[in-house]
C-alpha cells in the first residue's frame, strides 16, 4: 500500500511538472464568464477565452469547450458559437432551447456566418492566436443565454468540470472561481460599467497529456564541418511507418489527398525520424563581429498545413539579434534579465502559412547575430540551440555527442605556421 501511494505521488509530480513550461511559466488560457444581465429564469453571459500563452496557439479545426451544469440549466440561445448537440428538449413546448444537455459541448462559428449570428471576436473557426504573436487575435468570445438557473449572485451555481480541446487533448482546466466583476469602458471612454458577476476558469497545457511522442525534431549542420546531424531515428515514434508515403509515390497525385480526416490522423512522408515537422539549424557564415544562421522548417504531413505557426528557440546569443530576414521575431524573456529565448513566426500574408508536405511545405529565414566576444565560440556545440519549440510543443534534439564538431584545423594551421616561421628563421641564420 505504501508503495502504491508513493507511485501515485510520483505520478502527480510528473504531471504537474510537465504542465509547467520553463520558457513560458505563466502561460495559460483563461475562460471568463461575465453575467451582463438577469432574465426571468436565468442570465445572459459573455464568455471570453483569452490565450495568454506566448507561443502556443489553437489552430484548425479550432477549440472545443465543455462543462457540466450544476443544476438543471439549459441554453436558450447563443450568439457567436453553438453547441454540437441539442440534446433532449421534449419537455419544452413552444420556445425550444438551443441545448438541453447536462454537459454541453461548444464550438466557434465559421467565418462568413450571417451578421445577426456574430459576436465580437467570434467566428474564426476556433482559431486563436498566441499572445506573444498577436494579442488582438489571442481572444475568442461568444454570448450565451442560460435558463432554469439562478437569477441573483447568491442563487447562481457555477458550472463545473470544464474541458478544453485545442484542438486536441493536452489542456487541463481548474474549477470556476468567482473573481471581482469585470469593468468595461463605454465607446467614448467617459463612463465605466461592470458585469453583474464574473468567474474565471484557468486551463494549462501539458505536452505529456497531449501525446506520448514529440511532434517535431531538430537537425543541425554548419559551414565548418561537412557532417549533417539528422533528427534521431523514430524521434516522433514509428507507429505511422506502415502507412507513410514515399516522396516519389504515385499516390501523391490522387485528388483529396490533402484533405484532413475527422480523427486528424496524419499522412506522413516516409523518413527515418517519422516526425510531422522538422526544424533545421544551419550555422552558415562567421564574420568578425557577427555570425549568420539559417533556419528551415519543413512539413512532412500531407494532411495538415499550419496557420499562424510559431517557433520558439532558446540560445544564449538571442540576446543580441541584429536582423531576421524572412520571419518576424520577438524576444521572449520569461525571467526578466535572462534574455536567451526568442519567438520566430511568419510574416502576415507572406509565409505565416506552412503548407502541407510537398514542394511548398517549407519556410526558411536567415538570422544575423552580433557576437559577444566574452562568450562566443564554435566549440562544444555552443552555436546550436538549447531548446526548440514548434507551435508550443518541444522538439526532440539530437544527442549532444553527435553535433557537428569544430575540427582541429585552426590549431593545426597555427602549428604549421609556427613551424614554417621557425624554419625560415633558421635558414636566414644559416645564410648569415
- Asked if the structure places residue 203 within a domain, the reply is yes
- Asked if the structure places residue 35 within a domain, the reply is yes
For 80, residues 6+ apart whose C-beta sits below 8 A from its C-beta are 108, 109, 117, 118, 119, 120, 121, 122, 123, 141, 142, 143
Q: Is the same domain home to 220 and 358?
A: yes
Q: Is the same domain home to 205 and 220?
A: no
d(CA 305, CA 176): 34
Tell me if 331 sits within 8 A of 341, measured CB to CB: yes
d(CA 277, CA 254): 23
d(CA 162, CA 31): 10
Work out how many domains the chain is built from and give that number.
2
d(CA 124, CA 47): 15
Residues constituting the chain: 432
H/E stretch holding 37: strand 29-38
Cell numbers standing for residue 33: 464568464
d(CA 298, CA 65): 31
d(CA 314, CA 341): 4
The whole-number pLDDT of residue 201 equals 98
Q: Is the same domain home to 132 and 153?
A: yes
Cell numbers standing for residue 122: 467570434
Q: Is the same domain home to 202 and 287?
A: no
d(CA 85, CA 101): 8
- Asked if the structure places residue 351 within a domain, the reply is yes
Preceding omega of 75 cis (within 30 degrees of 0): no
Q: Is the same domain home to 365 and 238?
A: yes
Q: Is the same domain home to 220 and 149?
A: no
- Asked if the structure places residue 409 within a domain, the reply is no
Q: What is the pLDDT along the chain (432 residues), one digit of tens a residue?
A: 454 444 444 444 444 444 668 889 889 999 999 999 999 999 999 999 999 999 999 998 899 999 999 999 999 999 999 999 999 999 999 899 999 999 999 999 999 999 999 999 999 999 999 999 999 999 999 999 999 999 999 999 999 999 999 998 999 999 999 999 999 998 898 999 999 999 999 999 999 898 889 999 999 999 999 999 999 999 999 988 888 999 888 888 887 777 777 767 889 999 999 999 999 999 999 999 999 999 999 999 999 999 899 999 999 999 999 999 999 999 987 676 778 899 999 998 899 999 999 999 999 999 999 999 889 999 989 999 999 999 999 999 999 999 998 887 544 443 343 444 444 544 544 555
* CA dihedral of 310, 314, 320, 322, whole degrees rounded to 10: -30
Vertex 397 angle, CA 208 and 356, to 5°: 80
- Asked if the structure places residue 426 within a domain, the reply is no
Tell me if 388 sits within 8 A of 208, measured CB to CB: no
The whole-number pLDDT of residue 41 equals 95
Q: Is 133 exposed, middle or buried (0-12, 13-18, 19+ CB in 10 A)?
A: buried
d(CA 32, CA 198): 7
d(CA 149, CA 45): 12
Q: Is the same domain home to 159 and 217?
A: no
The closest of 228, 219, 233 to 271, measured between CA atoms, is 233
φ, ψ (nearest 5 deg) of residue 280 = -115, 130
d(CA 268, CA 236): 11
Task: Find residue 370's DSSP bridge partners.
Answer: 290
Predicted structure pTM score: 0.85
Q: Is the same domain home to 65 and 144?
A: yes
Tell me if 359 sits within 8 A of 384, measured CB to CB: no
Q: Provide the CATH number for the domain around residue 285.
A: 2.60.40.290
Q: Domain residues for 297?
A: 213-248+266-402
Preceding omega of 167 cis (within 30 degrees of 0): yes
d(CA 268, CA 389): 20
Q: What is the pLDDT of residues 230-262, one digit of tens each?
A: 999 999 999 888 889 998 888 888 877 777 777
Q: Is the same domain home to 197 and 157?
A: yes
- Asked if the structure places residue 410 within a domain, the reply is no
Tell me if 199 sits within 8 A of 158, measured CB to CB: yes
Vertex 170 angle, CA 167 and 174, to 5°: 105
- Asked if the structure places residue 19 within a domain, the reply is no
Tell me if 182 sits within 8 A of 141, measured CB to CB: no
Q: From the DSSP assignment, how many helices (H) and strands (E) are in the chain?
A: 3, 26
Tell me if 100 sits within 8 A of 90, measured CB to CB: no
The whole-number pLDDT of residue 316 equals 93
Tell me if 24 sits within 8 A of 54, measured CB to CB: yes
Tell me if 35 sits within 8 A of 138, measured CB to CB: no
H/E stretch holding 162: strand 160-165
Q: Is the same domain home to 222 and 150?
A: no
- Which residue is associated with the grid cell 478544453? 164
Q: Is the same domain home to 289 and 161?
A: no
- Asked if the structure places residue 82 within a domain, the reply is yes
The whole-number pLDDT of residue 432 equals 53
The closest of 127, 156, 150, 125 to 139, measured between CA atoms, is 127
Q: Is the same domain home to 51 and 159?
A: yes
The whole-number pLDDT of residue 239 equals 87
Amino acid at each position: 500500500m505504501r508503495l502504491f501511494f508513493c507511485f501515485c505521488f510520483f505520478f502527480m509530480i510528473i504531471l504537474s511538472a510537465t504542465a509547467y513550461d520553463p520558457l513560458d511559466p505563466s502561460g495559460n488560457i483563461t475562460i471568463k464568464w461575465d453575467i451582463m444581465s438577469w432574465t426571468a429564469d436565468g442570465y445572459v453571459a459573455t464568455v471570453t477565452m483569452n490565450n495568454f500563452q506566448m507561443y502556443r496557439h489553437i489552430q484548425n479545426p479550432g477549440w472545443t469547450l465543455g462543462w457540466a451544469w450544476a443544476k438543471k440549466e439549459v441554453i436558450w440561445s447563443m450568439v457567436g458559437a453553438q453547441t454540437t448537440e441539442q440534446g433532449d428538449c421534449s419537455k419544452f413546448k413552444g420556445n425550444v432551447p438551443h441545448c438541453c444537455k447536462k454537459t454541453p459541448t461548444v464550438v466557434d462559428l465559421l467565418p462568413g456566418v450571417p451578421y445577426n449570428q456574430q459576436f465580437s471576436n467570434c467566428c474564426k473557426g476556433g482559431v486563436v492566436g498566441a499572445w506573444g504573436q498577436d494579442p488582438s487575435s489571442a481572444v475568442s468570445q461568444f454570448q450565451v443565454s442560460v435558463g432554469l438557473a439562478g437569477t441573483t449572485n447568491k442563487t447562481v451555481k457555477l458550472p463545473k468540470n470544464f474541458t478544453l480541446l485545442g484542438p486536441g487533448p493536452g489542456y487541463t482546466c481548474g474549477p470556476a472561481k468567482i473573481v471581482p466583476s469585470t469593468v468595461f469602458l463605454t465607446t467614448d471612454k467617459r463612463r465605466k460599467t461592470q458585469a453583474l458577476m464574473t468567474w474565471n476558469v484557468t486551463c494549462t497545457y501539458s505536452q505529456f497529456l497531449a501525446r506520448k511522442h514529440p511532434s517535431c525534431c531538430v537537425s543541425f549542420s554548419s559551414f565548418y564541418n561537412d557532417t549533417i546531424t539528422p533528427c534521431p531515428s523514430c524521434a516522433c515514434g514509428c507507429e505511422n511507418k506502415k502507412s507513410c508515403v514515399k516522396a516519389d509515390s504515385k499516390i501523391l497525385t490522387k485528388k483529396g489527398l490533402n484533405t484532413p480526416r475527422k480523427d486528424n490522423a496524419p499522412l506522413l512522408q516516409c523518413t527515418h525520424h517519422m516526425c510531422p515537422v522538422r526544424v533545421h539549424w544551419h550555422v552558415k557564415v562567421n564574420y568578425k563581429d557577427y555570425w549568420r544562421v539559417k533556419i528551415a522548417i519543413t512539413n512532412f504531413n500531407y494532411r495538415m498545413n499550419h496557420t499562424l505557426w510559431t517557433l520558439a528557440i532558446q540560445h544564449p546569443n538571442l540576446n543580441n539579434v541584429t536582423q531576421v530576414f524572412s520571419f518576424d521575431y520577438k524576444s521572449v524573456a520569461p525571467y526578466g534579465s535572462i534574455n536567451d529565448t526568442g519567438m520566430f513566426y511568419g510574416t502576415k500574408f507572406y509565409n505565416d502559412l506552412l503548407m502541407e508536405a510537398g514542394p511548398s511545405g517549407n519556410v526558411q529565414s536567415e538570422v544575423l547575430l552580433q557576437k559577444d566576444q566574452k562568450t562566443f565560440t564554435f566549440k562544444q556545440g555552443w552555436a546550436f540551440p538549447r531548446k526548440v519549440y514548434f507551435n508550443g510543443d518541444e522538439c526532440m534534439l539530437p544527442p549532444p555527442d553527435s553535433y557537428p564538431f569544430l575540427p582541429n584545423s585552426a590549431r593545426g594551421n597555427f602549428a604549421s605556421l609556427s613551424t614554417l616561421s621557425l624554419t625560415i628563421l633558421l635558414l636566414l641564420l644559416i645564410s648569415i
